[in-house]
Structure 1
Amino acid sequence: MIRLAANLTMLFNEHDFLDRFAAAAESGFRGVEYLFPYAHSPEDIKAALDEAGLAQVLFNLPPGDWEAGERGLASLPGREGEFRDSVIEALRYAEVLDCPRVHAMAGLLPPDADEATRAAHHSTYIANLRFAVGEAARAGRELLIEPINTRDMPGFFLSRQAQAMAVLEAVGADNLRLQFDLYHCQIMEGDLIRHLERQFDRIGHVQIAGVPQRHEPDVGEVHYPAIFDRLESLGYDGWVGCEYRPAAGTLDGLGWGRQLGLNP
């Protein structure tokens, strides 16, 4: 059975962050994810999780200066110390929240990046990920990488599935896994089910949203029932993160999940 996790950065914005946990549970979700927990103490978030009876399934490492436009540190030359600190901080939260996996955003290339610049980012990325997977392994956690489309995030270093698979191979760690976001993959490449099949053994988490507007997954150009059927037939037992922007209120748009067990 597909297990749906509410992305609390995008869903239930009708509530303050710590109140979104209860709202998600009341709507039938049993797991949650979000971009970043760092505005709150891990103890406060854990209390919200426990009170709602929810599992924490994913969050991101600190991304640098998000408000200034930074989108991750992992591939940025000269920021290695800050990246290492971000790994330690994320794993501290993961320990308190009993979260099995964290995502390291790759970061942005400069607008005028040439081949030498791209090579420097790649070398930094591999070295940083090797450090991070070692720390994550000692903490009993998985580290995820995610290709993100360059329409929503122009210049994002990791944008294609083959690039991500090559990185997994280069780092060579069992606890480094692919965060397979079908929304991003559809925008960049399409051919979703074949990508899913080819990469299935390396997928650690799945995320969904309608394409192209990133609304509910029952609107747009992706036929998610076929995706869910293939996930189940492949034996996927992980979570599917609902990382979409509701077209109206969150509750108004949850009808699509009823057949997947999303019932209050």
Structure 2
Amino acid sequence: MSAAYPLSSCIEWQFAEAGELDARLRAAKAAGFEFAEFHLWRDKPVAALAQALTETGMRLTGVCVDPRRSIVDPAERSEMVTAVRETIAATACLGKPALIVASGFRVEGMSEDEHFANAVAALREAADAAEAAGVMLLLEPLNTRLFAAMYLVSTKLGLDLVEAVNSPNLRLLYDVWHSACMGEDMAKVLAGRIHLVAHVQVADMDDRHEPGTGSVDWANVMQALRGMGYAGSLGLEYFPSLPMDQSYALSRQTLGC
């Protein structure tokens, strides 16, 4: 039997009954997690989180670059790179977690080639900062259901950008739910390029709850990931529809982890 992937709790949405994020981290540890992730950091108790990480031995698999700024709009490039640098500095005390980058929205009147070139230029500057700090950046494609005008809603395009930037400190975050919303065939879009994926997030269709509550064929998903040689963790980025102990148990059973 293949080794199980480590699971990471999205404490942004899970263990909410525990209170502040540092308390959620401790609750996740008590439930059996060794890894966690959350979204933006500026409104979070960073110092308390650092203390909780030290006390529990937990590790973070991802935190979002904050504030979010466009990688395709040249007018926002300086702010985007500054946000990356400030996030690197602010999260160093959290163990230098991977930092998640979204694309921002399409710019009216801009061609596809211009969008791509601007994204590469912005990501190259951000990757330079990440390389200097020894931090991984994760570029995340989203979906048009949530964000109609979002630029990066394609796994193929995201992988193309990662390849074009060609930095060891820029990889893709592949989110099964976003990809399913876009009607992608996971095995096809990741074929031959799984080495460019550093983190995978999971949630079931249609309502973004725990794996095992919707229509995703998780046996095929897990077989594909293992068959392609994915070696990272799985982020449980979903809204729990059950008490968290039951939700975690169902996720583990469904994913074979």
TM-score, normalised via structure 1 length: 0.87
Tell me what 2:92 maps to.
95
Contact 2:50 2:94 in 1 (8 A): yes
Look up the SS of the partner of 1:103 in the other structure: strand
CA distance in 1, matches of 2:150, 2:17: 30
Measured against aligned partners, the alpha-carbon deviations of 1:202-221 in whole angstroms (never above 9, x if no partner) come to 11110000011101111222
Tell me what 1:36 maps to.
40
Identical aligned residues as a percent: 28
Tell me what 2:203 maps to.
209
Q: Which amino acid aligns with 2:125?
A: F
CA distance in 2, matches of 1:235, 1:42: 34
Structure 2: runs of 5 or more not aligned = none
Distance 1:32 1:137, change over 3 A: same
TM-score, normalised via structure 2 length: 0.89
Displacement, 1:244?
0.5
Structure 1: runs of 5 or more not aligned = 65-71
Look up the SS of the partner of 1:207 in the other structure: strand
| Match status 1:171 vs 2:174 | no
Displacement, 1:254?
2.1
Q: CA RMSD in A?
A: 2.1
Tell me whether 206-215 or 194-203 shows the greater mean CA deviation.
194-203
Displacement, 1:129?
0.5
Tell me what 1:236 maps to.
230
Look up the SS of the partner of 1:155 in the other structure: coil
CA distance in 2, matches of 1:38, 1:52: 22
Displacement, 1:75?
2.3
Tell me what 1:51 maps to.
55
Displacement, 1:81?
2.2
Q: Which amino acid aligns with 1:210?
A: D
CA distance in 1, matches of 2:11, 2:245: 13
Tell me whether 124-133 or 252-261 shows the greater mean CA deviation.
252-261
Match of 1:104 among 101, 105, 119: 101
Aligned length: 252
CA distance in 2, matches of 1:59, 1:258: 23
Tell me what 2:75 maps to.
78
Contact 1:215 1:247 in 2 (8 A): yes
Match of 1:14 among 14, 17, 28: 17
Moved over 6 A (4+): none
CA distance in 1, matches of 2:252, 2:197: 25
CA distance in 1, matches of 2:251, 2:136: 27
Measured against aligned partners, the alpha-carbon deviations of 1:6-30 in whole angstroms (never above 9, x if no partner) come to 0111211222222100111111111
Measured against aligned partners, the alpha-carbon deviations of 1:153-180 in whole angstroms (never above 9, x if no partner) come to 2211101122112212221222211111
Contact 1:45 1:97 in 2 (8 A): yes
Q: Which has the higher contact order (CA 8 A, sep 6+)?
A: 1
Tell me what 1:67 maps to.
none
CA distance in 2, matches of 1:220, 1:198: 28
Contact 2:63 2:97 in 1 (8 A): no
Q: Which amino acid aligns with 2:66?
A: P
